[in-house]
A and B are shown apart, each in its own frame.
Chain A
Amino acid sequence: MFRKAINFWAKHQILITAIFFAVVLVYPLVLESYYLRNVAIQCLLYSILSLALNLIMGYTGIVVLGMAAFYGIGAYSLAILTTKAGFSFLPALVCSVIITFIAGALLALPTLRIQGNYLAIVTLGFCEIMRIVELNWVSLTNGPFGIKQIPAPSLFGFTLSQPVQKYYLAVVLLAIVVLLMHNVINSRSGRAWKSIKSDPIAAQAMGINVFRYKVFAFAICAAIAGLAGVYYASYIGYVDSTTFNYNQSIQILSMTIMGGLGSIPGSIFGAIFFVILPEFLRWLGTFCGEWIVEWRQILYGLILVLMIMFKSDGILGGFDLRQIHLYNRLQEKNAAAEEGQKK
């Protein structure tokens, strides 16, 4: 059944993407509940984060356990730039993204000497260090009090204060990230990344500067996560260090892995799934009792175990829709040719 669904999707790829976008665009107009819009915004926000991680993990093959660090740097940069330095939203956004880009590159330069699991642990440590810095650098970050009254996003003198407007801002940001990733992945750099993931030695022998591309991947991944942080800070209006902790990193990691490594729709799917699941269970809990909410963690564990057993590269990972489409068309052509020969 899964195969059939994928084949169907491969065949009607454009149509399905269009329907998805239509749903995303119409959603807040149809459903006016504050709560539902909020959940949708969370989905969009985590989609961006999960995509950022997918770029480095799914395409370049570097495991990063500290995504929350970049997310936090982006959020704090915006908070500080708008509340203390008096920047307006757009310049602050650009500066914050540049800051996280540089932070990503700076982390990558010394740490890429180590590989595999060790590197993953270092990024985990970096996440923890950033959290402690955010907590203790009181003069800059207000320490445990966090930064309050971050202005709502505004574009060209127009303030986006309504949730609907903020929702559409998130849609625009996600669309930009998806387009950017789609283009980068199918470019020369994208092929270089994929070849590094596939076989770093062979990639090197092709004349690819592996180190430079890894640093570049780190920096772009950080910049995208930073963008999500920027959005988060201006959306909530308040940042503090507890948001950007280890659990946050793991949450993003689960979304990327479950959705599918090396798949853009996969990352979005993973994000939506993990945002909606607890909300859904909470809703279910109003019917059949609170126990189901408490059993949530067990359900998570079960899902992860099942995933690892049956599809370790994620629900939408490990295949290329375009390849499948080409293959199916070829099969059909062959079948038609055979038919013709029989006649």
Chain B
Amino acid sequence: MALLEIRDMHTSYGNIKAVKGISFEVDQGEIVTLIGSNGAGKSTTLNTIVGTVPIASGEIWFNGANITKLPCHERVALGIALSPEGRQVFPEFSVEANLRMGAYTMSKSELAEGQEQAYTLFPILKERRRQAAGTLSGGEQQMLAVARALMCKPKLLMLDEPSLGLAPLIVAEIFKLIRRINEMGTTILLVEQNARMALRISNRGYVLETGNIVLSGKGSDLAVDEKVRAAYLGGL
């Protein structure tokens, strides 16, 4: 049984239809990537799954339960975490307070445990734990955003463009960490414009185009697919 199953999901902002009936699933333990150009509806898909954007029609199933009608905070409590696009950390909060916010739905002992784990995964954050998050570098903020999303021990971690605006070396580091988090047992749904990197670490991928899924398959297959190469991998 799939951990996350999307059935014919539509999402719109007013009159503009951003997602036009997509269906896909994410199995336990997988890394799944949604790739697509700007405006394809990738971020909207993630936001709809976590519930910050209302769904127009369709169904979302998580862990065998229909969560379509649940409010956002209850979905988070069920184990869906989103690290939003553009590193939305709370800039005036300290690193530690940011992590604490991530563990908002957890008990105190779990908070300590999560913090421990975050600091082992991201040692740099421990060094900076009292610093205001807004003063961190871009890469550090991205790490904090991922660490914060991990704090609630999600079954499904959704990452929205974790490589956005980061130097290539840092990007490689981030992807290494994503893989490591996956190996520790967290299922990952990834949205990326950096399709090459994303497909390399993914089990499966879906290609979105103007709100529709046009292609799907194994990560390695998509990476060599002619159309994908032409459109997203710079024709190499």
A323–B101 Cα distance when bound, in Å, is 18
Chain A residue nearest to B72 in the complex (CB): A204
Interface residues of A in 189-204 (CB under 8 A from B): 191-192, 194-195, 198-199, 201-204
A210–B105 Cα distance when bound, in Å, is 13
Chain A interface size, under 10 / 10 to 19 / 20 to 34 / 35 or more: 10 to 19
The answer to whether A191 touches B97, judged by C-beta atoms less than 8 angstroms apart, is yes
The answer to whether B52 touches A201, judged by C-beta atoms less than 8 angstroms apart, is yes
Q: Is B179 engaged at the interface, CB distance under 8 Å to the other chain?
A: no
Q: Is A288 engaged at the interface, CB distance under 8 Å to the other chain?
A: no
Q: Is B22 engaged at the interface, CB distance under 8 Å to the other chain?
A: no
The digit string for A192-220, where 1 denotes a CB below 8 A from any CB of B, is 10110011011111111110000000000
The answer to whether B91 touches A205, judged by C-beta atoms less than 8 angstroms apart, is no
A195–B52 Cα distance when bound, in Å, is 15
Q: Is A39 engaged at the interface, CB distance under 8 Å to the other chain?
A: no
Q: Is A326 engaged at the interface, CB distance under 8 Å to the other chain?
A: yes
A191–B88 Cα distance when bound, in Å, is 16
A192–B93 Cα distance when bound, in Å, is 11
The residues of A that contact B105 with a CB separation of less than 8 Å are 206-207
The answer to whether B84 touches A201, judged by C-beta atoms less than 8 angstroms apart, is yes
Total contacts A-B at CB 8 Å: 60
A326–B130 Cα distance when bound, in Å, is 9
Chain B residue nearest to A318 in the complex (CB): B92
The answer to whether A198 touches B92, judged by C-beta atoms less than 8 angstroms apart, is yes
Q: How many residues of B contact A (CB 8 A)?
A: 28
Contacts A191-B101, A208-B104 known; A198 to B73 CB distance under 8 Å? no
Q: Is B71 engaged at the interface, CB distance under 8 Å to the other chain?
A: yes
The residues of B that contact A191 with a CB separation of less than 8 Å are 93, 97, 100-101
Chain B residue nearest to A211 in the complex (CB): B71
The digit string for B87-120, where 1 denotes a CB below 8 A from any CB of A, is 0111111100100111011000000000000000
The answer to whether A195 touches B90, judged by C-beta atoms less than 8 angstroms apart, is yes
The residues of B that contact A201 with a CB separation of less than 8 Å are 52, 84, 88
A267–B52 Cα distance when bound, in Å, is 34
A105–B175 Cα distance when bound, in Å, is 46
Which residue among B76, B90, B132 has the maximum number of chain A CB atoms within 10 Å of its CB? B90
The answer to whether A207 touches B130, judged by C-beta atoms less than 8 angstroms apart, is no
Which residue among B76, B94, B104 has the maximum number of chain A CB atoms within 10 Å of its CB? B104
The answer to whether B72 touches A199, judged by C-beta atoms less than 8 angstroms apart, is no
A208–B90 Cα distance when bound, in Å, is 14
A210–B82 Cα distance when bound, in Å, is 16
A255–B75 Cα distance when bound, in Å, is 40
Q: Which of B82, B92, B93 contacts A205 (CB 8 A)?
A: B82
Q: Is B50 engaged at the interface, CB distance under 8 Å to the other chain?
A: yes
Q: Which of B71, B76, B91 contacts A206 (CB 8 A)?
A: B76
| Shortest distance between the CB of B77 and any CB in chain A (Å) | 6
Q: List 17 A-B contacts (CB under 8 A).
A: A188-B104, A191-B97, A192-B104, A195-B90, A198-B92, A198-B93, A199-B90, A202-B90, A204-B73, A205-B50, A205-B52, A205-B76, A206-B76, A206-B101, A206-B148, A209-B73, A210-B73
- Chain A residues packing against B (C-beta within 8 Å): 188, 191-192, 194-195, 198-199, 201-210, 323, 326
Q: Which 7 A-B pairs have the closest CB atoms?
A: A207-B76, A207-B105, A202-B88, A198-B90, A209-B73, A204-B72, A205-B82
Instruction: Beyond the given A202-B84, A207-B73, A208-B101, please list 13 additional residue pairs across the A-B interface where CB-CB is below 8 A.
Output: A191-B100, A198-B90, A198-B92, A199-B88, A201-B88, A203-B101, A205-B50, A205-B52, A205-B72, A207-B72, A207-B104, A207-B105, A207-B152
